[in-house]
Amino acid sequence: MKSAADPDMQLFLDRLLTRSVLTQDEQQAVLDLPGQREVVKARSDVVAENEKVSHARLIVKGLVGRVGRVESGVRQLTAFYIPGDMADLHSTVRPVEVGGLHALTESTLFTVPHEAMRRLAALYPAVAEALWRDCMLDAAILMQRVVNVGTRDARARLAHIFCEMAVRYAKGSQPALQYDFPVTQELLGEAAALTAVHVNRTLSALRMAELVSLSRGEVTITNWPKLCAVGDFDAVYLLGDTGAEQRRRLLEH
């Protein structure tokens, strides 16, 4: 098992620091979390639904989805996880997988023992608060996903997903107007609760309207404001807790 400032943990620390202020000691404690690298093949299950787990999984490379399956075999993708996301952070305190994790592309994960995560949280309450905030971001994304598939039309659903990922893939404060998003039309359909036929038609419509295109796993956004309008997208649910006032500590110790 690797330990002592593994570079993979820097990805997660960077993510935590967008929403929380941590001291040098606290940052070092996050970087020192032990874990193991694991490479998973594309289109393979990482963790099954309801599986008992003892580790949380940080995405280092690739694209992982959270999936729910119904008896008929139909699958719903409820979340995309990209590098820097601790896909099942919540399992640290509730060690049963909510839905399953499925590698959509070949992916590299860094698995961190729950025990180490809990020890870290107990020793550093500000880190615990940062982890809690991170879980709430997941909840906010899920809430928007539910609204997306429950109320929006196909154009808005796909536009909203492209907007969400543009903000999440962004390196700075501006959305990424071009990013790798290696999803098939079938996978987009599973995320947006649409048939692949409808995804295909809707992607064509979005491309013809010169809003966004998806080609060979790369998204290119040509008109960000209009895409946001079509997708009924407001980035507050993703960025509303990144301002200086929101990042301040709530827990005193």
Partner 1 sequence: MKCFFNLAGAVYDPDVEGFEVATIDEARSLAAIHVAEVIRDRPNVIWAGEEVRLEVTDKNQTVLFTIIVVGVDAAAEDEHPSSFRPNAVHPSAI
- Using CB under 8 A as the binding rule, whether residue 10 contacts partner 1 is answered as no
Specify the residue, 5 or 197, whose C-beta has the smaller distance to partner 1: 197
CA dist., res. 182 & res. 174, Å (int): 21
Q: Which stretch binds partner 1 (CB under 8 A): 96-104, 126-134, 137-145, 191-199?
A: 191-199
> Which of 201, 207, 247, 249 lies at the binding interface for partner 1 (CB under 8 A)?
201
* Alpha carbon 122 to chain centroid, angstroms: 25
* DSSP reduced 3-state for 99: coil
- Using CB under 8 A as the binding rule, whether residue 188 contacts partner 1 is answered as no
| Beta carbon of residue 185, minimum distance to partner 1 (angstroms, whole number) | 9
* Alpha carbon 123 to chain centroid, angstroms: 27
- Using CB under 8 A as the binding rule, whether residue 200 contacts partner 1 is answered as yes
Contacts of 219 (CB under 8 A, 6+ apart): 162, 165, 166, 178, 179, 180, 181, 212, 213
| Beta carbon of residue 190, minimum distance to partner 1 (angstroms, whole number) | 14
81 closest CA partner among 56, 106, 62: 62
Q: Going by DSSP bridges, is the β-strand pair 44-47/100-103 parallel, antiparallel, or unpaired?
A: antiparallel
CA dist., res. 55 & res. 35, Å (int): 9
Structural contact between residues 22 and 30, judged by C-beta atoms closer than 8 angstroms: yes
| Beta carbon of residue 145, minimum distance to partner 1 (angstroms, whole number) | 18
Q: Which stretch binds partner 1 (CB under 8 A): 22-30, 194-202, 222-230, 239-247?
A: 194-202
Specify the residue, 196 or 239, whose C-beta has the smaller distance to partner 1: 196
**H helix intervals, 18-91:** 24-31
Specify the residue, 76 or 108, whose C-beta has the smaller distance to partner 1: 76
| Beta carbon of residue 147, minimum distance to partner 1 (angstroms, whole number) | 16
Helix axes 125-151, 24-31, angle to 10 degrees: 70
Q: Which stretch binds partner 1 (CB under 8 A): 17-25, 29-37, 96-104, 196-204?
A: 196-204
- Using CB under 8 A as the binding rule, whether residue 154 contacts partner 1 is answered as yes
- Using CB under 8 A as the binding rule, whether residue 195 contacts partner 1 is answered as yes
Q: How many residues does the chain have?
A: 253
Instruction: List residues near partner 1 by CB under 8 A.
Output: 153-155, 194-198, 200-201
